[in-house]
Structure 1
Amino acid sequence: MILRHVTFDSARPYELATFWSKVTGWPVSDSGEPGDDEVLVEAPAPVPGMLFIAVPDAKTVKNRVHIDWQPTDHTRDEEVDRILTLGATIHEDHRRPDGRGWVTLLDPEGNEFCIERSQSEVTS
């Protein structure tokens, strides 16, 4: 068995997929267009894609599952700053004075995700 997609319920799938495409650098599927009920952000194999599906319900509670990201080309703080400019907001800041910790952000529809320290920050 393989994990094919991580699926997100969404009010506006194309717009949310576009946000995540900018965050990850992965493309929105060629078949994705504004107004579509399903839009896929295609990840490089073997990473699962991110599928955004229209639902009528608004998000009302904390996610039971969320994604933790580790930057590869930036520090944690640079990545947080970059993603904030794309439309995310800070939900909880768990950074410590010693440099450890993470930041929990919200995407434009309120889904939680975390940015951890990069591998170079962890090993230095």
Structure 2
Amino acid sequence: MACRITELALDCVDVERLAVFWSEVLGYVEIEREDNGGILIGPPDIGVGGPQPTLYLSPTGDPRPAKLRLHIDVSATDHDQDAELERLLALGATRADVGQSGDESWHVLADPEGNEFCLLRSRVQPV
């Protein structure tokens, strides 16, 4: 028996801004809003429990203390890495330096709150 990742939770100061950003990045839609201000986003017409994990944006007033120990990797589905990099930067991602050499096949980026994520070279099929 095994488990499957069904949801990723990300603490954030500006839940609305990150919900919009990550929805645009992943092609997700808002699934649910909670009374505490949290927002759950996920694949359209699938909701929770589908083949892709949902993303729960959890409100916090605490600033991020350091580099994340776990980060999200994304891959383009309908165009190459260069075009996807330009799209992500236009959405508000920024380049991040976490000590990479510059020879990597991926790009290290940060979302609008500074949470690192990587854009991989490989293209994948949409789910």
Normalised TM-score (structure 1)? 0.81
Amino acid across the alignment from 2:123: Q
Amino acid across the alignment from 1:32: R
User: Percentage identity across aligned positions?
Assistant: 36
Amino acid across the alignment from 2:107: V
1:103 aligns with 2:107: yes
Alignment root-mean-square deviation, CA = 2.3
2:39 match: 39
What's the secondary structure of 2:29's corresponding residue?
coil
Unaligned runs of 5+ in 2: none
CA distance in 2, matches of 1:16, 1:65: 17
Residue-pair matches, total: 115
Q: Give 1:42 deviation, angstroms.
A: 1.1
1:77 match: 82
Q: Give deviations 1:14-46, integer Å, cap 9, x for gaps.
A: 2211110011111112x439x962101113521
Normalised TM-score (structure 2)? 0.80
Point out the structure with the larger helix share.
Answer: 1
Q: Looking at both structures, which has the greater relative contact order when contacts are Cα pairs under 8 Å and sequence separation is at least 6?
A: 2
Unaligned runs of 5+ in 1: none
